[in-house]
Amino acid sequence: MRVLVTGASGFLGRAVAAAIVAAGHEVRCFQRRPSGVTGATDALGSITEPSDVAAAVAGVDAIVHLAAKVSLAGSPAEFDAVNVEGTRSLIAAARAAGVHRLVFVSSPSVAHSGSSITGDDALPADPEHARGDYARTKAAAELLALAADSEDLRVVVVRPHLVWGPGDTQLIARIVERARAGRLPLLGHGAALIDSTYIDNAADAIAAALERVDAVHGNAYVITNGEPRPVAELLAGICQAAGVATPAWSVPAGVARAAGSVIEAAWRVFPGDDEPPMTRFLAEQLSTAHWFDQRRTRADLRWTPAVTLNEGLARLAEHYRTA
């Protein structure tokens, strides 16, 4: 099968492209800079340029779409252009090129409205109540993708949750950086149970979804390790693996949420050079439970995670020891 992977220069996209290559498929990677994926070819361009998109999809049988603007802050128009309109352009190009399979990589945040998620399956994407422009636009894009599902273009949605592992410059790097600087508090008591996903498991699950599109199209699946841990325990494990101090102070969850709302508003007027230190969405994610029923995901995709959280933390520790 000839497969286009968009966003393959990112942490998850690169791992997904490598997993699909390893499965024996011919892979083309589409993004703005070289992917560095051994065994794949690159088609450089932007998801916001229809001509680049049309050239990238030409001649492929299937698409795995990961390209997105992922951030806690930024211009709402840019989120819309990349996440919504880029997806719309990709679907149109796929139809025109006769592509028959599409795996849309989404996020559980598309169905998160601020309250705890305790053992739910994939809830419907809800752009109206999603927290922040990333979740809002990913929710809208997911609905576009599912609306395009047909016998001619079969679409499946996967939502990997809190993907982490060695080499992650987003979640892991930010946790470690803030812990090293003494700026990583617990919100509340740190007892909320949260799911996460080790990078190899996330990539393998998405590759499995590609193989199963014909059988499961029209559905959305949340992907996790299936090992919910208290947020304090997960943060401590990451910090210990990186050799930095674990969080030693806490902030009431309500205070953090209120502060996040204020910081978000200020960031829109006076944006900093990096991510805001707190947003309401981030405060909610760190202080509410969010873990998911994985039975349907595993049965339908015929996939189970190969790397446990403890093994993932051991690999993360080895990465920091040898870096």
Catalytic residues: 134
Give the span between the Cα atoms of 42 and 40, in whole angstroms.
7
| Dihedral angle computed from the Cα positions of residues 195, 199, 204 and 205, in that order, rounded to the nearest 10 degrees | 30
For 224, the token pair is 């996790």
The DSSP secondary structure of 59-70, one letter per residue, reads T-SEEEE-----
Give the span between the Cα atoms of 58 and 85, in whole angstroms.
19
| R_g of the chain, CA atoms, integer Å | 19
**Angle made by CA atoms 281, 286, 169, in degrees to the nearest 5:** 85
Minimal CA–CA distance to 103: which of 94, 113, 115, 112? 94
In sign, the C-alpha dihedral spanning 48, 102, 7, 238 is positive
